[in-house]
Amino acid sequence: MTERDIVALFFARDERAIAEFDRSLGALCYKIALDLTGDPGAAEECLNDTRLRLWNAIPPEDPVSLKAYAAKIARRLALNRIEKSGAGKRSAVLVELDEIAEASSVSFEEELVESSALSDTVNRYLAGRSKLEAAIFVRRYFAGESGRDISRATGLGVSKVSRMLKQMRRELAEELRKEGFGK
């Protein structure tokens, strides 16, 4: 079943939409939440909440890519869970996003992260990168994968992945400053 077919089931308020979502995208959303939270129980709760949010949002929303839409929901739920779990237990992903923020004087508050201007800047930056670099960036900062996991998936050494991410953080910080998101 295609993503469009699943979206059509949501529009029809057909409960099979949830089962088809689970079959095609449930594992991805669970993995995103697990990679970010590191907790299987929390990841399962994020997946359950993702299902509920999809059911409540479609319709009226009609996502072009159900995969991207669901992944974004799962990621946001996992990040919210991390932030609520305690200030002393910050994930590496949040710390590294803060590194980009410090380099560019950008604050990654929820309002700014949702800003379409910020999204446009990040998307333009990634469009100018190689497919490999963009994939590494997205795997790290969107899916929350570790450098070791990215290394295994790409065949690059962990230190090479780390250097690439550091360079991309620096370049993105500069782009954000140029676009007026920092000092």
3-state secondary structure string across 92-152: HHHHHHHHHHHHHCCCCCHHHHHCHHHHHHHHHHHHCCCHHHHHHHHHHHCCCCCHHHHHH
User: Containing H/E element for 38?
Assistant: none
Write the pLDDT tens digit of every residue in 59-102.
999 988 898 899 889 988 988 887 777 544 444 555 555 555 55
Confirm if 36 and 144 have CB atoms less than 8 A apart.
yes
> 34 is written with which tokens?
């697990």
**CATH class name, domain 92-178:** mainly alpha
Q: Which residue in the block uniquely carries the two structure tokens 């992260």?
A: 113
Angle among Cα 77, 22, 123 to the nearest 5 degrees reads 50
Looking at residue 46, what is its pLDDT? 95
Looking at residue 53, what is its pLDDT? 96
* Ranges of CATH 1.10.1740.10 domains, the chain: 3-84
Q: Is the pLDDT of residue 109 over 50?
A: no
No. of helices (H) and no. of strands (E), the chain: 11, 0
Looking at residue 94, what is its pLDDT? 53
Angstrom distance (rounded) from CA 108 to CA 66: 25
Q: What is the pTM of this model?
A: 0.62
* Ranges of CATH 1.10.10 domains, the chain: 92-178
For the domain spanning 3-84, the CATH number is 1.10.1740.10
Q: What are the distances in angstroms from CA 16 to CA 10, 23, 100, 181?
A: 8, 10, 41, 43
Confirm if 58 and 9 have CB atoms less than 8 A apart.
no
